[in-house]
Amino acid sequence: MKLLGLDYTDISHAFSEEELMVQKTVREFVDSELAPVIDDHFREGSFPFDFVKKFGELGLLGINLPTEYGCAGMSNLAYGLVCQELERCDSGIRSFVSVQGSLVMYPIFAFGSDDQKNKYLPALASGEMIGCFGLTEPDYGSNPSGMITRATKTTGGYLLNGAKMWITNGSIAHLAVVWAKTEDGKIHGFLVDTASEGFSAPMMKNKWSLRASITSELIFNQVFVPEENMLPSVSGLKGPLSCLNQARYGIGWGTLGAAMAMYETALNYAKTRIQFDRPIAGFQLTQEKLVWMLTEITKAQLLALQVGKNKDSGTLRHQQVSMLKRNNTWVARECAKLAREILGANGISGEYPIMRHLMNIESVYTYEGTHDMHTLIMGEDITGTSAIR
């Protein structure tokens, strides 16, 4: 089998047949079922909720987690290709799968008790249960260590008080993985049933980006969380940061998908749009833009492939994930501008997916560690000096 879509340097051989089959399956599902409805959802600001169970049936939720918990047990390269194919359609769809798999299922798998794993992972893998991840607060974004949300010890558990903001899936989640400080000032993860008394998740409206994804506040007013719902095996910022590292890996592949979609749209348009009696693809200035896009996308693809191999072999360093997230999101953002330009006035039309991707990529550029924060993580890695604070 061959890698589908853009593959200028012929890298199919780097993937197993199984990984290529996963890509094919997801691509066919996206093209036949999701692509026809995504524009409507984006315009209405709604998430295609009906597809959640289908994601579960296809094994896309927590795809790289073990089969004993009802997950697909696939490689990280397969996970990467899934993210690429989903974000080729829309960043909001990939965001759902990233949050469910990397930010909700992963911490339960990595830091949860056996009871927590057995109780939640199969339901999250099947899509029966939806999860969200609450780290960001109104006053603490890039600096989550300052978080205000508190978990105070009480008989049989903890009382949660505080608020989280910009939380993907918040209003549709059954389970929230919430990071809060206990009385000793340490950060812990709590599995919060969203039906608990004192919990509310108002939807954040008025977004011009990721409109096909639900974003919410989480408000905790004396929410009781039983003792057994604290994640037992992690404390401190490394808990949430290790989850983000999983999700950022998927974003590195996902943004590649958005960039590929925009490049392909621009190339097809350029070949058929006639100005001055010839296709605009024949003008040197248009060719330069297309060549820049293809070259940067190919470099981003090779980076994603190598980072994926490192992840699968257990040699990955988190700074390499920062490079991947930072570079590939930037490439997609630049491709959005160039594709928009190549389409001329049609570039702003809803007839083409460019503006939707362009607006989406602005969120992706900021969430899961802003472009700047990843620059500073890499800067510290190569100089030995942190410029973050």
Ligand X SMILES: Cc1cc2nc3c(=O)[nH]c(=O)nc-3n(C[C@H](O)[C@H](O)[C@H](O)COP(=O)(O)OP(=O)(O)OC[C@H]3O[C@@H](n4cnc5c(N)ncnc54)[C@H](O)[C@@H]3O)c2cc1C
At its nearest, how many Å lie between ligand X and the CB of residue 134? 6
CB of 12 to ligand X, least distance (A): 34
Binding stretches for ligand X (CB under 6 A)? 99, 133-136, 141-142, 166-168, 210, 215, 363, 366-368, 370, 372-373, 376, 388
Residue 213 Cβ, how far from ligand X at the closest point, in Å?
7
Closest separation in Å from C-beta 226 to ligand X: 23
Q: Indicate the SS3 state at residue 185.
A: coil
13/205 with CB nearer ligand X? 205
Contact 346, 274 (CB under 8 A): no
Give the closest residue to 22 by CA, choosing from 77, 96, 99, 98: 77
Q: Of the two residues 19 and 137, which places its CB atom closer to ligand X in the complex? A: 137
Are 247 and 102 contacting, i.e. CB atoms less than 8 angstroms apart? yes
**Phi and psi (nearest 5°) for 239?**
-60, -65
- Cα-based distances in Å from 165 to 120, 203, 215, 217, 236: 24, 10, 8, 4, 20
Token couple for 24:
């094919």
Contact 65, 106 (CB under 8 A): yes
* Cβ-count burial 297-310 (b if 16+ within 10 Å, e if not): bbebbebbbebbeb
CB of 156 to ligand X, least distance (A): 27
User: What's the min distance (Å) between Cβ of 41 and ligand X?
Assistant: 15
CB nearer to ligand X: pick between 200 and 370: 370
133 within 8 A of 167, measured Cβ to Cβ: yes
The catalytic residue positions are 368
159, β-bridge pairs: 152, 224
Produce one character per residue of 268-294: b if its CB has 16 or more CB atoms within 10 Å, e if not.
ebbeebeeeeeebbeeeebeebbeebb
Q: Which two tokens stand for residue 311?
A: 């992840």
Q: What residue is closest to ligand X based on CB?
A: 141
Q: In terms of CB distance, is 31 or 372 closer to ligand X? A: 372
Nearer to ligand X, 281 or 378 (CB): 378
What is the Cα–Cα distance from 177 to 186, expressed in whole angstroms? Answer: 16
Residues ≥6 apart with Cβ < 8 Å to 273: 279, 280, 281, 343, 344
Query: Closest CB to ligand X among 101 and 134?
Result: 134
